[in-house]
Amino acid sequence: MLQLRPNCEYCDKDLPPQAADARICSYECTFCAGCVETVLHNVCPNCGGGFVPRPIRPAAERRPGLCLATRPASMARVHLSYDKPAIAAFVEALRDIPPEKR
Ligand SMILES: [Zn+2]
Ligand SMILES: [Zn+2]
């Protein structure tokens, strides 16, 4: 089950569960669409993978036990593991390689 992390690791923007601009990598590293497009260029700075839009968990209980109230989003904010110059160099090295070939 996805943790639904509460913020962009890069700019710290709030990304609540219903945010349409949340992006995740396969490890659920979480960033906003703006950072993914303009800074990260579809390179996760933690793992080197690409991003997809994060699915939105229904707020309403459409099926028994399956909704935000019973399966709540994470409240633990996550911050960068590398400094921004190191991330820029990492992104530069990988951005021209499509994710399926990284
Ligand atoms: Zn961001
Ligand atoms: Zn990642």
Compute, in angstroms, the gap from residue 48 CA to the centroid of ligand 1: 17
Compute, in angstroms, the gap from residue 101 CA to the centroid of ligand 2: 15
Compute, in angstroms, the gap from residue 7 CA to the centroid of ligand 1: 8
**Within 10 Å of residue 94's Cβ, how many Cβ atoms?**
20
Residues, the chain, total? 102
| Residue of 10, 1, 6 whose CA lies nearest to 91 | 10
Compute, in angstroms, the gap from residue 65 CA to the centroid of ligand 2: 29
**Mean per-residue pLDDT of the chain:** 97
Element (H, E) at 85: helix 84-94
Tens digit of each residue's pLDDT (9 = 90 or more) over 47-78? 999 999 999 999 999 999 999 999 999 999 99
Token output for 81:
């593991």
